[in-house]
């Protein structure tokens, strides 16, 4: 194990949930380095929201061992006779050390003692400021802020005059520069920052951040199957490769069977032709024998006459 880390859980209850008294909730998270279990989450004080509240999200924090990449999540809902069913929409988990966020869509109604196994369908990296990345983000540069480039001020010689006129031109240039700098910082810079923010976040369907925002808003249906994590794509690629290999083997086997069938067909055709030839030969022999018998009987009749 790599030591303790904090897990941030967002549990989404569907708006179709009927409400009422709920049951015991236990989550077991399995990763590449181990497994952790969060028991009696119904007793945990949420940081935001309320657990099991219809159409809302509840935010919880848990301290546990680091388990590496998240592979699957097991939800255990133990309801008794007085507890109502629970309509679970999805669960999102963020591990603090790596900043990995995984979305586990559910869309299931749990009742009685029911066990539900979920797999991550969307994964991204998120820094402490909420920025989302497909890969682990790099360390920001010193200062973490873009600075306007310095522009040299015109001198008296560059103004093309001397004396009082040059001083006035220089003062006017400095005033223009300060005015430009103020406008750039107060008016242009926010517009540029907003445009860069929109470009960086890629606020269009089909992009990673759009999928993350949709999932965080409790709308996982738009992200399911559209763009998964690297691990999900890798698993899918392995499955497709295995399927292609199986299909190729089946195709080769069918080819061999077809060749064997062709050979057997040719052999049967040859045997059929041989049998037909033998049958024709037998018929010809029988015909010649019958002709000899007829000729013999005729000769005998002539002799007697």
Q: From CA 253, how far away is CA 257, in angstroms rounded?
A: 6
Q: Which two tokens stand for residue 31?
A: 């990763």
Domain boundaries, the chain: 4-120
Residues belonging to the chain: 305
Per-residue pLDDT, 302: 61
The two beta strands, 100-110 and 122-126, are antiparallel
> Contact at 8 Å (CB) between 7 and 96?
yes
Q: Tell which residue, 93, 13, 102, has the closest CA to residue 57.
A: 13
Q: Does domain 4-120 have CATH number 1.10.3720.10?
A: no
3-state secondary structure of 280: helix
Per-residue pLDDT, 161: 47
Per-residue pLDDT, 159: 44
Question: Which residues, given as ranges, of the chain have pLDDT below 50?
Answer: 1, 144-161, 222-223, 225-227
Q: From CA 106, how far away is CA 123, in angstroms rounded?
A: 15
Per-residue pLDDT, 204: 57
Rounding to the nearest 10 degrees, give the CA dihedral for residues 274, 279, 283, 286: 100
> Contact at 8 Å (CB) between 124 and 212?
yes
Does the predicted TM-score (pTM) go above 0.75?
A: no
């Amino acid at each position: 194990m790599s030591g303790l880390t904090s897990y941030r859980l967002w549990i989404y209850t569907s708006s179709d949930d009927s409400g009422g008294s709920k049951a015991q909730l236990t989550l077991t998270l399995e990763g590449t380095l181990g497994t952790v279990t969060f028991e009696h989450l119904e007793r945990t004080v949420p940081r935001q929201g309320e657990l099991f509240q219809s159409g809302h999200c509840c935010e919880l924090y848990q301290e546990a061992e680091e388990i590496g990449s998240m592979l699957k999540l097991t939800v255990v809902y133990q309801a008794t006779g007085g507890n109502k069913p629970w309509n679970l929409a999805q669960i999102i988990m963020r591990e603090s050390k790596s900043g990995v966020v995984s979305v586990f869509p559910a869309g299931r109604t749990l009742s009685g003692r029911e066990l539900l196994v979920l797999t991550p369908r969307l994964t991204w990296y998120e820094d402490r400021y909420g920025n989302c990345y497909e890969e682990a983000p790099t360390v920001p540069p010193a200062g973490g802020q873009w600075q306007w480039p310095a522009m040299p001020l015109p001198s008296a010689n560059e103004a093309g005059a001397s004396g009082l006129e040059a001083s006035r031109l220089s003062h006017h240039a400095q005033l223009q520069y300060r005015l430009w700098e103020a406008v750039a910082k107060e008016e242009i810079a926010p517009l540029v920052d907003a445009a860069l923010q929109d470009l960086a976040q890629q606020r269009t369907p089909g992009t990673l951040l759009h999928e993350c925002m949709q999932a965080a808003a409790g709308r996982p249906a738009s992200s399911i199957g559209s763009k998964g994590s690297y691990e999900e794509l890798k698993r899918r690629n392995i499955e497709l490769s295995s399927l292609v290999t199986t299909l190729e083997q089946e195709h080769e086997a069918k080819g061999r069977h077809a060749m064997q069938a062709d050979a057997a067909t040719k052999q049967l055709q040859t045997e059929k032709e041989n049998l037909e030839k033998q049958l024709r030969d037998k018929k010809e022999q029988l015909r010649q024998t019958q002709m000899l018998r007829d000729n013999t009987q005729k000769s005998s009749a002539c002799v007697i006459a």
